[in-house]
Structures are given as C-alpha cells and as structure tokens.
Amino acid sequence: MDKYNFIRIEVQVLRPKVYYVKNKEGIEDSLSNYFSDDFRDRFFKEYIEPFIMSGEYYKLSDAKKIIRENFSENMTNKLYNFMSALSDKGNGNMDRIDVKADICKSTVREYKNKLASINVNPIPIPRRETIETLPNLYDVIMEENKKYDFRKPS
C-alpha cells in the first residue's frame, strides 16, 4: 500500500452560517467571496484550532520536564495529571475529561492556557510511539494552506 503525506481537514459551512456572515459583515452572497484566504483562515481558527489545540505534542515525560521549568512543583503535578488523564481517557476529548476526572470546565480552560503559554499541547504522544515530538497540526495545516490559492481551478 502506498503511503501519502497528507491530512484531509474539512470544514462544512452550512447555509445559516453563510447568511449570518453575509448579514453581519455585508459580504455579497457569492461563492467566490467565501474562498478568500482571510475567510478560510478565520473559519479554520474558529472550528479546527479548538479541536487540535495549540502547542507542540510531546510524550508525557518530556512535557513534564518543560512544565517543571516553567511552573511550581504543585502546578507541574496538576498539569501532568491533567495530561495523564487525557492520555488515559483517549482521544483528548475535553468533555469526557470534565465528567470522568471531575475537572470543572474553568480548570480545563486554565490548564489548556497554561500549557499553551509554554507551547505544550495537552494531548500527549502515546508512550509506545517512537516519535518524541510533533509540531502543532494547526500550524502545519495553516502553513500548507498558504501555498494554495483555492479560488483558482486546478
């Protein structure tokens, strides 16, 4: 089987959202207006970035070293336990963590922001993986998107 170097990310913008943007920002109801770089970047930031979250991906042990360099021992333990809970629950689903680990949403938001401030993604790379670090996927996607003009037919 051939291997490919791509990730497909799709954002579906339904008609009510198009009407909302049209009325709010006065954009003409023409499909070409919705293929601008600015519009695409804004929608990716609004819909994709919260899912992927910010920061580079690290294994838990490497993340703990970075966290320890930037925060107190108490906060290091809290952030490490938070990342560990994400790893144990699988797929980084924040809603699942809120309920299962009894972490309130404001605490989840605080921990995500603290980790983002030191460029660490809350979702760790699994222990068994051979890769040590990954760049943030949102940044990679946005960088790749800059290479294409989606208004031109291919």
For the chain, percent of residues with pLDDT exceeding 90: 28
- Torsion region of 149: left, alpha or beta (phi above 0 gives left; psi -120 to 50 gives alpha): beta
Is-contact 103 82, C-beta < 8 A? yes
Q: For residue range 12-59, what is the model confidence (pLDDT) as tens digits?
A: 777 787 788 788 888 777 777 767 777 777 777 787 777 778 899 999
- pTM equals 0.70
Report the chain's terminal Cα–Cα distance, integer Å.
26
Which DSSP string do the residues of 72-108 spell out, in sequence order? -HHHHHHHHHHHHHHHHHSTT-HHHHHHHTT--HHHH
The label of the residue with tokens 């954002």 reads: 11
